[in-house]
Amino acid sequence: MRHVFLVNPAAGQQDQTARFAAMADSLHRRHGLNCTLLRTDGPGTAQAAARRLAETGEPLRLYVCGGDGTVHEAACGIAGFPNAAMTCIPAGTGNDLLRNFGADAVRFQDAENLWDGPAFPLDLIDCSGRLCLTIACNGIDARVADSVRRFSHLPLLRGRGSYLASVAANFLFRGIGQHWHVSLDGAEEEGDFALVSMCNGRYYGGGSCPVPEARMDDGVLHTVLVRSVSRATFARLFGAYSAGQYRRLPAGLIRVETPRVVRIRADEPFVTCLDGECFSSREVTMRLSEKRLNFFGPKGCSPNATAVSPPDFLHGCPGTGSPV
């Protein structure tokens, strides 16, 4: 079996390649593992490298060293290959995937905790032929994520500055909602929506948790629909939405459904964001992918560690938010 460290040297505040090389060397020396290290060198290269490794048919454990974007690319690369499994060693500015593992998230920082851990299949979202591991969002939340990415390239707007600039650009100078035709398993409704997001995982956007009962391996995808409201109302209710307390909000404003197929059509382009990777279109169709992703982690970990069940729904995601 090959153990490959796929490193994004641009992730985070500084190049951490030396740190990951030391981990690979340690696994080789202590356990006799066949370890190699590959570096990405731009958008798309993590997906291409992961796919090339999986296509060999050789048993593969892939250690993805980067943020959510690198994880997204690698997952797209190996999805559906039974011989390949991946894990994540965080290095980027965002690691929403690992939040799903709760207290075990910190154990992903060291490959020593990962190399012999169990592998388990995770569901994926198919969004018009593109794959998504955590949450596929459309609307105001996707617009903010897209603007953060664009503003972060400006020297004076890195980190928190890019987020604040994005919020200002989307909330102060643009409307909250867009006019869409939304179809849930063929039942269509037309109106102004702030967002429509399909959830496999529970976290996105740096820790927002819209649907706390979502589980990553049960074959069920939860879709949250939020109608368009005024800026003041959206700002007042966003804290409860972000904390997974949608049941405390007005039913006419927000609801969660579990359709198998969701289709959004619009006259004007809208932004879709998949694991933080954004694109614009006038139509998307979201459904459970036929492919699954083999993922491995520390012994005893669960991708559903923070998922809630009745009667805890009203409390939202653990450790987030407060009641409205």
Mean pLDDT score of the chain: 89
What pLDDT score was predicted for residue 322? 32
Q: With 0-12 CB in 10 A as exposed, 13-18 as middle and 19+ as buried, what is 22? A: exposed
DSSP string, 266-281: EEEEEEEEETTEEEEE
pLDDT interval class at 313 (50, 70, 90) = low
For residues 59-78, give the mean pLDDT. Answer: 96
Please state which of the four CATH numbers 3.30.70.100, 3.20.20.70, 3.30.1360.120, 3.40.50.10330 is assigned to the domain occupying 2-124+292-296: 3.40.50.10330
What pLDDT score was predicted for residue 323? 29
196-220 per-position pLDDT tens digit = 999 999 998 888 899 999 999 999 9
Please state which of the four CATH numbers 2.60.120.10, 3.40.190.10, 2.130.10.30, 2.60.200.40 is assigned to the domain occupying 130-290+310-315: 2.60.200.40
Domain with CATH 3.40.50.10330 in the chain: 2-124+292-296
Question: Which of the two residues, 303 and 315, has the higher pLDDT score?
Answer: 303
Q: With 0-12 CB in 10 A as exposed, 13-18 as middle and 19+ as buried, what is 288? A: middle
Task: Region of 165 please: left (phi>0), alpha (psi -120 to 50) or beta.
Answer: alpha
For residues 136-145, give the mean pLDDT. Answer: 90
C-alpha span between 114 and 8 (Å, rounded): 19
Domain with CATH 2.60.200.40 in the chain: 130-290+310-315
100-137 per-position pLDDT tens digit = 999 999 999 999 999 999 999 999 999 999 999 999 99
Radius of gyration for the alpha carbons in the chain, expressed in angstroms and rounded: 20
C-alpha span between 47 and 142 (Å, rounded): 22
C-alpha span between 137 and 272 (Å, rounded): 6
